[in-house]
Structure 1
Amino acid sequence: MDSLLLIFLVCLGLGAVIGFMAGLLGIGGGIIAVPVLLYLLPKAGFGSEILPHVAIATSLAAIILTSLSSARAHNRQGNIPWSLLKPMLPGLAIGSICSGFISQLFSADLLQQTFAIFVMVMALQMVFPFKVSERDKPLPSTAVLFTTSVVIAIIAALMGIGGGILLIPFLTWCGIHMRNAIGFSSVSGLFIAFFGSAGYVVAGWQVTGMPEATLGYVYLPALLGIVTTSVLMAPIGARAATYWPVPVLRRAFALLLILTGLKLVFS
């Protein structure tokens, strides 16, 4: 079987898993997609020196449609505090766009190991979530919100995730109620994914030796496969959450992430 077709078919399955797990456990697709793509993309001819960049960029691009769907749902429920966009959107855009160029400053091995450590920390967060009390208080200054959004966007886009795992605790610490923090995170994830993907496209545009069917660092067959099924499976996962033992599954999935992270660190 042609390697391009094989990768597309595997990514159809990967997208189904990502969508289902996102609906079931409320996790972003990046922590699932990136490790799988790191093992899958060498079959398409990607060398080790660009492999993490392509895996992260492709994961980030796949988040766009998922975040758009989530943001629309939260907007219908009135959960999005749109006033926060004015101080935070410029920082989200700047940080996300810069991430693609910042990633080029890291060696492939360092970027992969950094992602692996990040995955393990996020797995621990799933098992032992941060407890942040919701309370009404004045928001930080515009400068603080802008700076924080830049930092969060850089980290999220460098790791190929939407950033909710970082943004939601910060917003609740600022006094934003949890449902509004989650709603705003869905919008932020959309902007981080969009601008971050654009940064990786531009940063990878002049990279030589890239296989066919790439747009900068984004590998289009993998992207198409993931988004085709992830959007369809997310509602099914959300319905399954009503009946399945989510806390037990969350801990089992966290353990799998830790093992995956250790594998990436020592590979």
Structure 2
Amino acid sequence: MDLLSLDFLILAGVMLAAGAATGVLAGVFGVGGGALMVPVLFEVFGLLGVADQVRMQLAVGTSLAIIIPTSVRSYLGHRARGAVDMTLLRNWAVPIVLGVVLGAGIARFAPPSVFMGVFVFVAGVNAIKLISGTRRWDIASDLPGGLLLRAYGGVIGLLSSLIGIGGGQVANIIMTLHGRAIHQAVATSAGIGVLISIPGTFGYILAGLGQPGLPVDALGYVSLMGVMLFVPTTVLTANLGVRLAHALSRRSLEMAFGVFLAIVSVRFLYAMFAG
């Protein structure tokens, strides 16, 4: 076996392992796993020689494509348990999709550090809130109605499409700060991942068509090789995560999600300051 074949097998193994971890994350926390996938894909594409000017966009677009089956499987699992707030999901559907479309349109021009910084602040505050168990930081006892509720949906879609996540992190933050139980927030976020990943993927495909520096397997800003290597293990392990989420107590799930958010925040901080 030559060195090139060995390198490819190692990269394929890393993608398969990361895909398995992503599936569990999707089920446990109602997230698509983009916070894990984007940095892994970014490094893998670097090792494969993808041009720096399209590397981040390719990682984000590929992450959104991978999230599609993961989010669908996670959502169906949570819905079967009756944990999804379908009324909220219907109210957020249109503004989330509009936010995703806007994000896909501006992602190639916006500096990633701006959105990473916003996420680090919001996720860091919520991580402290969840780990400490305090209710003193709650914004309200329930979500608002009308235009403000829809504005929340637009923000979820916009930020999620710009950094390649399924929306679970942002939606969980908003819902738990408004008095919603963590189990309901996790389950509903799984449905949000479906609303974000499908239009987001098509948006990144269109945004990347004809761009120089993309690998031969890319369809716009989506790597078909990355999708094929990630999807099998994410789909296989998503239901394991759903079962684990419903087996945990409310406090255990809050602690687990708080630690998860803290880890993601550190990862974004490193990406911002490491250059």
Instruction: Output the TM-score relative to the length of structure 2.
Output: 0.78
Work out the CA distance in 1 between the residues paired with 2:17 and 2:118. Answer: 24
Do the aligned residues in 2 keep the contact of 1:135 with 1:177 (CA within 8 Å)?
Answer: no
Distance 1:73 1:258, change over 3 A: closer
Partner of 1:104: 108
Do the aligned residues in 1 keep the contact of 2:74 with 2:239 (CA within 8 Å)?
Answer: no
Q: 1:263 aligns with which of 262, 267, 270?
A: 270
Do the aligned residues in 1 keep the contact of 2:92 with 2:153 (CA within 8 Å)?
Answer: yes
Distance 1:163 1:250, change over 3 A: closer
Matched, 1:126 2:127: yes
Q: 2:145 aligns with which of 136, 140, 144?
A: 140
Instruction: Output the TM-score relative to the length of structure 1.
Output: 0.80
Provide, for residues 161-194 of structure 1, a one-character-per-residue CA deviation record: whole Å limited to 9, x for no partner.
1112222343455665554443332211111111
Residue correspondence of structure 1 range 78-227 to structure 2 within 5 A: 78-106=82-110, 110-111=111-112, 113-114=113-114, 116-117=116-117, 120-121=120-121, 122=123, 125-129=126-130, 131=135, 132=138, 135=141, 139-141=144-146, 143-171=147-175, 178-227=182-231
Tell me how far 1:140 sits from its aligned partner.
1.1
Q: Quick one: which amino acid aligns to residue 193 of structure 1?
A: S
Provide, for residues 186-232 of structure 1, a one-character-per-residue CA deviation record: whole Å limited to 9, x for no partner.
21111111111111111111212311111110111112211111222
Work out the CA distance in 1 between the residues paired with 2:165 and 2:91. Answer: 22
RMSD: 3.3
Work out the CA distance in 2 between the residues paired with 1:249 and 1:85. Answer: 24
Report SS of the residue matched to 1:201. Answer: helix
Question: How high is the sequence identity, in percent, across the aligned residues?
Answer: 28
The aligned length equals 260
| Higher mean C-alpha deviation, range 196-205 or range 5-14 | 5-14
Partner of 1:51: 55
Do the aligned residues in 2 keep the contact of 1:140 with 1:174 (CA within 8 Å)?
Answer: no
Residue correspondence of structure 1 range 242-253 to structure 2 within 5 A: none
Work out the CA distance in 2 between the residues paired with 1:251 and 1:173. Answer: 13
Q: Quick one: which amino acid aligns to residue 92 of structure 2?
A: M
Tell me how far 1:33 sits from its aligned partner.
0.9
Tell me how far 1:15 sits from its aligned partner.
0.5
Work out the CA distance in 1 between the residues paired with 2:179 and 2:258. Answer: 28
Distance 1:45 1:119, change over 3 A: farther
Structure 2 unaligned residues grouped into runs of 5+? none
Report SS of the residue matched to 2:205. Answer: helix
Distance 1:247 1:87, change over 3 A: closer
